[in-house]
Structure 1
Amino acid sequence: MRTERGRLTALYGSLLLLAGGGLVALVYVLLGQGLYASVSGAVSTVSPALRLGERVDVDPGRSPVPAQSMAPGEAPTPEQLRVYALTQNLTGAVTEATQHRLLIVSLIALAVFAVLSIWPAWWMAGRVLRPLAVITGTARRLSGENLDERIALDAPPGELKELADTFDAMLGRMEHLVAAQRRFAANAAHELRTPLAVQRAAAEIGLAGDPSPERVARIRERLIGVADSSEHLIESLLLLAVSQEGLESTERVDLAALAAAELADCPQQGLTVERALAPLTVTGDRTLLGHLVRNLLANAVRHNRAGGRLTLATSAEGDLTVSNTGPVIDPADVPRLLEPFRRRAERQHTAGEGAGLGLSIAASVARAHEAELTARANPAPDGGLTVRVRFPVAHSRRQGSVQPR
């Protein structure tokens, strides 16, 4: 059998045949145990030479045969012995003939049953495997253009229904990943093309004619700024790619000390800084963890408001938290802010504006360290965003209680 349907048909047919054979054997054995006694009683009842009386065991292993009532010590006559022997022979012959007939009829019925069971077994196997055919057909039709198609199997709860639902969930995740990759490629191409266009325009328009030294200096400063922005964008893309590849080497990193050093280097622009750095050590890549903290702080500063607040905290439970004040964010918009090149507002290509990779890099670094990054919008009037990175307990070490500074 080269198909699953053929194998299941053979299996179902074999099981039905075994069940029928077992039933025939059981009936044959059970009927044979009491058949001799039943036939012997029937023959003795119709025999004119014998009448019911005391039971005499005349043959070991067989049921007792009723005999004529005789006085004690009286010997049976030759005629009685002849009738008794005839009764015994007749009983044995009827019993054997009945058993033989029963066996032949049962075997014929079993053979017919086996032949007739092939079609129900084939139909049953096809019905059981029908969901698999639907799943296979859907998988063959899938491509990058129709990942929105689903199996949507209409079947009662069971293993195959669970398989189809799991396949649909996997298609949903694949569709999301493919869409994210397409957006990433399109946004990356757009982000890289824009600085080149600005540089070309500055060179062609700004230096056209007979530019003055002052104008040349402004164009030069503009070109250098665009080049710096492009370099930062490329470095961010490379960092995002490196973080997605996983960790090549790990070490014990004092995350609280690392966060304090990054906070000291971060331009705070007149913000009120609150920090509560509890001792926390995690296992990971020091460089990537530094980028994680740096990007979270830069995002909190860039999207803050004048005179706002910036909070940095670590906890002995393995949490790193960065919170800021700023514009009120719709909670529905928070998940998309973790995607590459996604911003709360459209990019204006102004000085100091990020490329929209900070939170996505932080999320990628967190995943590389098997940590969970979550973000939530702060309610009005403060607004802003709170980002928490929870490192696994196995990768963190508690060293004391919270010590606000």
Structure 2
Amino acid sequence: MSRPPVLEGEPAQAGVVIAGVSLTPYRATQDRTLLAGLGLGLGVLVVAGVSALTAWVVRRALRPVAVMAQKASEWSEHDLSHRFDLGEPRDELTQLGQVFDALLARVSRAILAEQRLSAELAHELRTPLTVVRAESELATLDPHLPREQRARFERIIESADQVLTAATTGIRSDERTVTVAPSTGLELAVPQAVAVRALAPLIENALRFSRSAISVSAVECGDLVQIRVVDDGPGLGIDPSDLFSPGIRAANGPGPGVGLGLALARRLARAAGGDVDVRPGEPRTTFVLTLPSTRPVATRSR
């Protein structure tokens, strides 16, 4: 406490002075500060909420892009059947996915058409090149053949080997046992080249899928000759009704084949009056090439 005031010249206390200050301005400042803090905190909460909502909306809107990126990273360059498949267009991004799917379908059709053409050309080249090589080898066996002509035939053989190697890419070349059952008295009513061209894809297919053994045999069946090609591979791995469709190949098949050989073999056989079929019920994978015989049934029965 402060001392009571004493007037000058007065011996004793003359009175008491009480002084007061209004707190209203301080209370107003305090209220304004509190309101400002509350407003600032509320603003921070609003900004955080809006940021979180914006991030959620952006992630949801860009989810189709993330799905497309993940799917595309899992695709292989050897499989042309993949699509984004985002469903019916709901917005611009899903509509973009549908456009990409249509573009992929067109590109896939173009690549498959090119592969089929290349494979068919390879099939068509193999038989005449094999004949040219064989004739050249026979010519080199002549001991009286001049050296210059021998060198020419050897160059023909070397060039034929190079083209045949390129045309048979994808067929395994490891050692396997191939058994050919001899048959006598069987004559085909089709040119040899047609028979070879129809049979070659069946043997190539057996070479592609077999594990260790392949067998080839021929039997008479009425006025037809049946040539059976059997391999000990893993099986068809595909619906037999789809096996002869162009561009269809077994999912468990090795190599980069495009599924054209069997379709070509059936087309050639049917054009010659025969057919190519598969026997799915057999213990081993069995393909049967049927071609007309030169002798009718009545002639053979005498």
Coarse TM-score class (shorter-chain normalised): 0.3 to 0.5
TM-score, normalised with respect to structure 2: 0.40
| Higher-helix-fraction structure | 1
